[in-house]
Structure 1
Amino acid sequence: MSQKTVLLAEDDASIRLIVNQTLVGEGYAVRATSSPEALERWVRNGEGDIIVTDVYLTDTPIFDLLPSFRLARPDLPIIVMSGQNTILTAASAAEHGAFDYLPKPFDIDQLSETVARALKSGKGTTSPKPRLSQTAPNPLPLVGRSALMQDVYRVISRVMNTDLTVLIEGESGTGKELAARALHDLSTERTGDFHAIDLATMTPEDVSTQLFGKSGTEGLAHSETSTLYLDEIGDLPLDAQTQLVKLLREEGGARIIASTRKPLSRLVDEGAFREDLYYRINVVRIDLPPLRARKEDIPELVQAFLVRAEQRGLARKEVEPSAMDLLLAYDWPGNVRELENLIFRLAALSSDPVISQRDVERELRAESLKDLTAQASLEHEIETLLNRHVMADLLKGDASDERIYQKVLEQVERPLIKLALTITSGNKLKTAALLGLNRNTLRARMRALGLADT
């Protein structure tokens, strides 16, 4: 087999060097450049077996060059790299026929594996269907450049122009409807309307009428160019589930995107959700991460919400670094929606152009005071967790396991200490005072719990 040649286009010299060395080490010949003109010339001359390129070469978007590449070399696979890492970039790469999209920074082994897959597939670009604009108003329905969100963007970009049924799972406030709207809005195939139905607030009769229509009329589910978003499908009544199964057996009709905050697999086990419907809905699944798992996205989210607040007529505001540190330390049980509401509230109520740490503390403390009236709810949640995770051990009645009590206390104490350390930036003296402990006691508990004591 003859040696394959990679055309590498990257204007960052350090990245170009690393990628070059890696691909040479994998046995490829590499021609590297930072010039879009050189890349165009190589493609026109029939050189290379695959392109690995950044989205921007100097000031030239690679998407402007792909139509000519497709005409000259329709079977030439292209892998796009990008440091912008937004859903718009991933969607544009897919729409312009790129074999794959790699957000920077990426694992170098991932790049090697992707190059091998692309060469094996023999697939080049397809006819581009551009409809996206970097300057379009509010072009980014989902915000965040974390690795977890990159996984979300990649799935959306790969299935947005299909009619596959999608299940979006995630906690309340993570942006499930935004992900569904992105699938619809970024699609070149769905030219109809986006219909969102909140199943948690509807009666079975309402659901049946909206989805399937009354006698002699067609419901929302029959529009072939529209998207039907079924929010909280886990709350769908069993009789309506039966009708939905019938709809999904039919050809055509609206694309179905469903979301749930409840694990549907568990509902199936409990007999509260039809197994056949679960497997029809769960063709492609998107898992939206909670905000506490992607805190590196908080600064960008805050900036996006401040811009939106200004667009709504509020004064321009900034957030001081210490206030941002406090936002990063908080765990956001209400996820992105809670952060958005807080930023809008601060933008409206703060009289200064800069939102201070004291402003954030005041608002979070007010929320905490509200939570004090819901201690019974907290205790109920703890009891629910104990029933789920500890009940089986207690039912065994095994007196030889004397550590059940201690295990439960440790599993509560460990995250409590970790949270306090996060808030105090690791200052153990402040952490001890915050928790009402002696410093030596804190150190002893950290050692016992396996927490680093540095």
Structure 2
Amino acid sequence: MSVLLVEDDASIAIVITAALEAEGFAVTRCDSVAERDRLLAAGRYDALVTDVMLTDGDGIETIDAVRRAAPDMPIIILSAQNTLDTAVRASDTGAFEYFPKPFDIDELARTVRQAVGSNSARSVPSEDAPVAGLPLVGRSAPMQAVYRMITRVLRNDLTVLVLGESGTGKELVAEAIHQLGQRKSGPFIAVNTAAIPGELIESELFGHEKGAFTGAVARHIGKFEQAQGGTLFLDEIGDMPMQAQTRLLRALQSGAIRRVGGRDEITVDVRIIAATNRNLEPMIAAGTFREDLYYRLNVVPITLPPLRERADDIAALARHFLALAAGEGLPRHSLSEDAAELIAQQAWRGNVRELRNFIYRLALLAREDTINAAAVQPLLAANARPDAGDGQVTLASVVQHWLDQNEPPSGLIYDAALAAFEKPLFTAVLRRTGGNQLRAAQVLGINRNTLRKRLHELSIDPLDVVRPG
């Protein structure tokens, strides 16, 4: 059994060669696209292991030449460019596997043996280019595992269950699967099941006929029909009422729905991606979540790591959000190394969502083009103590910043002020009401569902608010 190894880092090439030879492979090494093509033209190999960035070209962009020379040879791609874009590009070539650097050398050797044993490469997908502007950011090892799982579900319609704490970016994963998958030309419909009253969720998902219930003055097309030919993302699936779970299970089993008050079954062609920040298995044991629905949804689980487990990504995320903020009309800034390091040291219990909100607030309030640690520290101090006093301090900073401008920045002050006091306000009221959301909504004078939606968006867990310590 022979392997062609294309790697321009001599030390890595030596280690890979030793591992493959220990598995019984004869390894031929080279370090360029030109030499690779010459060797493929001169002989036959059972597998190709190739880096992406080579001395004379891109190992992925030139895969077509490999396919012409050896159409059935499995390809394993290695890369230090550990982004979702690279993982998707590798998947688009029909590669047998993709390994971000650094990788487990034993796992690589086992994968090469498996690839040779299969004696066939994955089918090459269509030549459609990947969508630009991929929504996920990060090169840490935990995110590499996420990227690899995403690439495995792009060329099929398997149901995906995205797991992770609130604010980790579960909807972004769903969007990435849709944008990069075979249903990208269809609609992407997202439903936050936690934000819909229990008595209305079936109507929202499946639609209703005129006169189906009091207030149903016209036919309503539900989310399943709206997502026809595309993807339906069911967020916070763990909060779905039991009756709605039963109807959802029936729809997944049959591929058809019936509107509330309707008689006819309607065939639906949608991909389902569900997400939750809850542990569903204890809920199954408690009888609050259907076990059969769980197994229907949990075909391919993808677990998103909390931000504290991917601290290496925080600086990159902060700079990414600064750029997004500038694109949305906020002042343009750069982030100094000491500021990035200070931000990366924080806990960010609200995960990526909390970091994003913080960076947007920082972009509005910072006075210098380059934001340093001294500018970050006061906002971090306010962010770390979510009580009413801190809200007043931060709001005062917003007002002062507005007064310092010759002209107030149009459309920004209201949002910035809300961001400054809404989270500490909700936290203080929940603490006073012992975490009772219904009572808190009454005190605030807002709808309970509005409160639940904002708590979700602000990454506030009512249990954490009242939990001792």
User: TM-score when scaled to structure 1?
Assistant: 0.77
Q: Which amino acid aligns with 2:269?
A: G
Runs of 5+ consecutive residues of structure 1 not aligned to the other structure? 382-415, 417-454
Alignment of 1:67-216 (within 5 A): 67-133=64-130, 137-138=132-133, 140-215=134-209
**How far does residue 347 in structure 1 lie from its aligned partner after superposition?**
1.5
CA distance 1:280–1:128, shift in 2 (3 Å): closer
Mapped pair 1:296 → 2:312 = yes
**How far does residue 353 in structure 1 lie from its aligned partner after superposition?**
1.4
Cα distance in 2, alignment partners of residues 129 and 355 from structure 1: 44
Matching residue of 2:223: 220
Alignment of 1:269-308 (within 5 A): 269-308=285-324
Cα distance in 1, alignment partners of residues 76 and 84 from structure 2: 16
Cα distance in 2, alignment partners of residues 362 and 15 from structure 1: 45
Q: Is the 8 A contact 1:9 1:54 kept in 2?
A: yes
Cα distance in 1, alignment partners of residues 184 and 329 from structure 2: 33
Matching residue of 1:232: 236
Q: In structure 2, the residue corresponding to 1:15 is in which secondary structure?
A: helix
**How far does residue 43 in structure 1 lie from its aligned partner after superposition?**
2.5
Cα distance in 2, alignment partners of residues 371 and 171 from structure 1: 23
CA distance 1:378–1:179, shift in 2 (3 Å): farther
Q: In structure 1, the residue corresponding to 2:288 is in which secondary structure?
A: coil
Which of 244, 249, 252 in structure 1 is aligned with 2:253?
249
**How far does residue 335 in structure 1 lie from its aligned partner after superposition?**
0.4
Mapped pair 1:39 → 2:36 = yes
How many pairs were matched up? 376
**How far does residue 365 in structure 1 lie from its aligned partner after superposition?**
1.4
Q: Name which of structure 1's ranges 45-54 and 100-109 shifts more when overlaid on structure 2.
A: 45-54
Cα distance in 2, alignment partners of residues 105 and 370 from structure 1: 39
**How far does residue 224 in structure 1 lie from its aligned partner after superposition?**
4.8
List structure 1 segments (4+ residues) > 4 angstroms apart after TM superposition. Answer: 372-381
Q: Is the 8 A contact 1:88 1:132 kept in 2?
A: no
Matching residue of 2:23: 26
Q: Which amino acid aligns with 1:19?
A: I
Q: Is the 8 A contact 2:160 2:297 kept in 1?
A: yes
Cα distance in 1, alignment partners of residues 270 and 282 from structure 2: 27
CA-based RMSD of the aligned residues comes to 2.4
Which of 311, 333, 336 in structure 2 is aligned with 1:320?
336
**How far does residue 255 in structure 1 lie from its aligned partner after superposition?**
0.6
**What whole-Å deviation, never above 9, does each CA across 1:7-59 have from its counterpart, x for those lacking one?**
01112222222222322233211111112122123323442110000122235
Cα distance in 1, alignment partners of residues 312 and 172 from structure 2: 20
Q: In structure 2, the residue corresponding to 1:132 is in which secondary structure?
A: coil
CA distance 1:380–1:112, shift in 2 (3 Å): farther
Q: Is the 8 A contact 2:6 2:31 kept in 1?
A: yes
CA distance 1:166–1:6, shift in 2 (3 Å): same
Identical columns (%): 44
Q: Name which of structure 1's ranges 324-333 and 97-106 shifts more when overlaid on structure 2.
A: 324-333
Cα distance in 2, alignment partners of residues 341 and 44 from structure 1: 55
Q: Is the 8 A contact 2:183 2:231 kept in 1?
A: no
User: TM-score when scaled to structure 2?
Assistant: 0.75
Q: Is the 8 A contact 1:306 1:343 kept in 2?
A: yes
